[in-house]
A = this chain, B = another copy of it.
Amino acid sequence: LNKLAISKEIEEESYKIIDSLLKELKLPLGELAVVKRVVHATTDLDYSKELIFHPQAISNGLKAIYEKKNIITDVNMVRVGISNYEGEIICLIKEESVLIRALKLNITKASSAMREAKDLMEGGIVVIGNAPTALFEVCRMVENKEVKPALIVGVPVGFVGALESKEKLKSLSIPYITNQGRKGGSSVAVAIVNALLKLSRGENNV
């Protein structure tokens, strides 16, 4: 793949600024790479204090990537933002069966899409960037031992349920990356996963 010199320059300049702003931050290499990419994507320095990593999050995420396991996302915005992955990136929210189940059970489409993806999650990475209801549903399936992903990236955003769904995620014994508070969103989710992908290729991320 050809690399654009200008894009590389802009990214390097951005990381220089981030390095100077976060020079006091001490974290393991993998976590630092994720934090910096989220700050790069959002310009929101709060994430340097608010991202929370399960101790096995980075290693489990990298293992899933090396093994080309599925990446399952809650919304298509997250799916299309993840780049340069050799495995499958899957979002089922637009499937007709997902809509039918959602209407029948009066659950959200995002939640229904998680149930639909149940058999695709084993050893993979589940990425929730939008819908608290999707994160609640994955947590429920993990608790019931219906699914066992390697890593859950849970950074839904919203005034309703986002905080609570992240608390639920942290209560589970499964590796996760999440954040404090009600912020988050597709761009944050994408930045976390793209940071892991760059790490897996040994590319500069910091």
Contact = CB atoms under 8 A, between A and B. Distances in A.
Interface of A: 2, 4-7, 10, 13-14, 17-18, 40-44, 75-77, 79-81, 99, 102-103, 106-109, 133, 157-162, 181-183, 185-187, 190
A43 B4 contact: no
A6 B41 contact: no
B40 A159 contact: yes
Given A42-B185, A43-B159, 10 more contacts: A4-B103, A4-B108, A4-B109, A13-B159, A40-B159, A76-B80, A77-B186, A77-B187, A79-B80, A80-B80
Contacts of A157: 41-43, 187
A77 B190 contact: yes
Given A81-B77, A106-B5, A183 B10 contact: no
7 contacts: A14-B159, A41-B185, A44-B183, A77-B80, A77-B190, A186-B186, A187-B187
The complex is assembled from copies of this chain, and their number is 2
B43 A182 contact: yes
B160 A14 contact: yes
Q: State the main secondary structure of chain A at its contact with B.
A: helix
A91 to B, nearest CB: 9
Most buried by B among A81, A106, A160: A160
